[in-house]
Amino acid sequence: MTDRYQETIDWLYSLENMGIKLGLERMRELLQALGDPQRSFRSVHIAGTNGKGSVCAMLSSIFREGGYRTGLYTSPHLVDFTERIQVDGVQISREEVAALAGEVRVAMETPGFPDGRKLTFFEVTTAIAFLHFARNGVEMAVVEVGMGGRLDATNVITPECCVITSLALEHTQYLGDTLPKIAYEKAGIIKEGVTVVSASHEEDVLRIIDAVARDRGSPLLVSGRDFEHDLLKADWNGTKAHLHSIGSDVTIPLLGGYQAANAAIACECALETAKRGVYLPEEAIARGLENVYWPGRMEVVSQRPLLVFDVTHTPAGAKAVAGELSRLQDKDWTLVIGVLNDKDLRGICEQFGPLAKNAVATSPHTKRAFSAEEVAAVLKDYCDDVEVVPEVPMAIERARTIAGQGPVLLTGSLYMVGEAKEWWTRTR
């Protein structure tokens, strides 16, 4: 790691002291000072709680198969900051991160720039991404919302299509403490006259999204109502689905039957984008879905004995993963889990309880995480045998010893899975 890159990363993370400041005025002023790079490319905008990362990865793959130079901006990262910003599947280099961050820093520290020193980590990172896309001739950018939508730093783009994936209670101190309130914030990405593609939702949630779409004259397409898919097969080789919108069977290399619904949403977004002049043959959509890569989501890192890594940060996500794994491997799993302290720890543990008889509680290296002891105190209500191993690598090794030839699931926050992947890759 170069000194300049490390200095840049240290500076970026120092901006976390500014906290989370939802609002768009600072972001617009910063981008204007940088020449409005976001105006140089077309885009799609994805919000939601569960599945938005997978949908982003699918759309990026689809646009690349369609022949477009494609940018992908997601957050947070698993192992390295550079994962957040990609062009045609290639991560931004560390040298480019340092150079572009330097440009942004000069702009925000220019005398007279309003509130320049109060910009947040995510605002500056988003500006770096948009600059990188503009400098590298990106034609279509897939942009994932950081938090919420209405006041998120990414909500300065005018996309060809908006997507809202499934919702759950999250970031309630910022977005509201009910699903309808959260839905209102997510629906804030809907732009006038721009189609929004949505996962199926409870009636009170869908009512909010529909009201915002109507107010902005934006067509709303809802999964299961306006477009459909059939799950044909979901096994250790991937997920096979029939997508009615293109009349094709596709095999997605991501595990979990719920990926069929994500694929249907990505397909519909691509078709709506094509209506706005982004030529995409149906074959490109199918190929894109069949070639998608999105690590850390029901990712098998060892076959014998079986070891699976999965990012799970909501009870709904935990329920889906636990259901899939119990169906695929009808044995008692051993669980390794670490969770951030702003997540519903009890709700997540409750969903994994029926899957795992034994569990190892741990904690990723971030001040935002529950301690291993706090995780264990909750896990004991749902698992027969719970051990505390604070260090993630040692927790994995202990779980594999307990499991013997049985399956192990490592799950929890993205920080947790990222730390595990970095260690696993380095030591294997």
**CB atoms < 10 A from the CB of 307, how many?**
22
What pLDDT does 35 receive?
97
Average pLDDT for consecutive 10-residue bins of the chain (428 residues)? Answer: 88 80 85 97 96 97 99 96 98 98 93 76 97 99 93 97 88 69 94 96 91 98 98 97 98 97 98 96 98 96 95 93 92 95 95 93 95 98 96 98 96 95 93
Give this prediction's pTM.
0.94
If asked whether residues 320 and 259 sit together in one domain, one would say: no
Asked whether the beta carbons of 173 and 148 are under 8 A apart, the reply is no
Instruction: State which of 263, 290, 317 marks the end of a domain.
Output: 290
Asked whether the beta carbons of 390 and 283 are under 8 A apart, the reply is no
If asked whether residues 281 and 310 sit together in one domain, one would say: no
What pLDDT does 112 receive?
74
If asked whether residues 189 and 312 sit together in one domain, one would say: no
Containing structural domain, residue 98: 3-290
If asked whether residues 66 and 30 sit together in one domain, one would say: yes
What pLDDT does 59 receive?
99
What pLDDT does 172 receive?
56
Q: What are 382's strand-pairing partners?
A: none
What pLDDT does 171 receive?
59
If asked whether residues 72 and 109 sit together in one domain, one would say: yes
The string of DSSP codes covering 32-82 is HHTT-GGGGSEEEEEE-SBSHHHHHHHHHHHHHHTT--EEEE-SS-SS-GG
CATH number (domain holding residue 242)? 3.40.1190.10
If asked whether residues 348 and 387 sit together in one domain, one would say: yes
Instruction: State which of 234, 262, 290 marks the end of a domain.
Output: 290
What pLDDT does 170 receive?
67
What pLDDT does 390 receive?
97
C-alpha 402/C-alpha 359 separation (Å) is 9
C-alpha 190/C-alpha 214 separation (Å) is 10
C-alpha 350/C-alpha 317 separation (Å) is 12
If asked whether residues 269 and 323 sit together in one domain, one would say: no
Q: What is the dihedral of CA 280, 284, 289, 293, to 10 degrees?
A: -100
Comparing C-alpha atoms, which of 426, 324, 411, 339 is closest to residue 374?
Answer: 339
Q: For the chain, what is the domain count?
A: 2
If asked whether residues 227 and 367 sit together in one domain, one would say: no
Asked whether the beta carbons of 65 and 291 are under 8 A apart, the reply is yes
CATH number (domain holding residue 339)? 3.90.190.20
C-alpha 250/C-alpha 123 separation (Å) is 37
Instruction: State which of 251, 269, 290 marks the end of a domain.
Output: 290
If asked whether residues 352 and 400 sit together in one domain, one would say: yes
Residue 34: both structure tokens together: 């940088």
- In the block, residue with structure tokens 């689809």: 62
If asked whether residues 280 and 168 sit together in one domain, one would say: yes
